[in-house]
Amino acid sequence: MSEQKKIRVATCSLAGCFGCHMSFLDIDERLLQLLEHIEFDRTPLTDIKHCGPCDVGIIEGGVCNSENVHVLKEFRKNCKVLVAIGACAVNGGIPAVRNNIDLWECFQEVYHYGIGLKNGQIPNDPELPLPFDQVHPIYEVVKVDYFLPGCPPPADAIWKFLTDLLAGKTPKLEYETLHYD
């Protein structure tokens, strides 16, 4: 078998919970099969800090702060194909529930008035990224090529999606694997 150049894949979680990444790991031993065809760039598995030139970028989570936008734009710049994975990347998801709560009130509730809190402080270290007043899905910031909804998408959906993509086909999910929840 001729040595084929591997497809380079980067993944990251923005305003997400890493649940989609966990679901990705749920493809279990098929991960080894996948690794025959792909190699990882920046992912939570490799600890590479910045996304380099890639074939596929997979983004979990929506955009909730300035750092999210920088990472997202870096992915878009470097990835030939950008994929939004999970409810948060697709429509903001659970983090977007705060969109109608004033940011200051939100912080006060979390750091000052929450149950069991005493002398709480709202973090204001200049190293911390600035939070936005609203959380938005990634396609409202950059062009996204493919969407894989679900909270999280089941491992079988991720497997079908990736194998279709690697085979050069438009990913197509069976009815029972397409879920918004």
- Sites of contact with another protein (CB under 8 A): 84, 87, 90-94, 96-97, 99-100, 134, 136-137, 139-140, 144, 146-149, 151, 175-176, 178-181
Q: How far is the CB of 90 from another protein (least distance, A)?
A: 5
Identity of the residue, 113 or 180, whose beta carbon is nearer to another protein in the bound complex: 180
Identity of the residue, 40 or 164, whose beta carbon is nearer to another protein in the bound complex: 164
In this structure, what DSSP letter does residue 40 have? E
Identity of the residue, 22 or 35, whose beta carbon is nearer to another protein in the bound complex: 22
Q: How far is the CB of 16 from another protein (least distance, A)?
A: 12
- Residue with structure tokens 């197509």? 172
CB 10 within 8 A of CB 76: no
List phi, psi (to 5°) of 122: -80, 120
Q: How far is the CB of 99 from another protein (least distance, A)?
A: 4
Identity of the residue, 12 or 96, whose beta carbon is nearer to another protein in the bound complex: 96
Q: How far is the CB of 173 from another protein (least distance, A)?
A: 8
> In whole angstroms, what is the distance from residue 38 CA to residue 102 CA?
43
Q: How far is the CB of 53 from another protein (least distance, A)?
A: 25
Using CA atoms, how far residue 151 sits from 39, 67, 145, 174, in Å, is 25, 23, 19, 17
List phi, psi (to 5°) of 39: -135, 150
Nearest Cα residue to 8 out of 47, 44, 34: 34
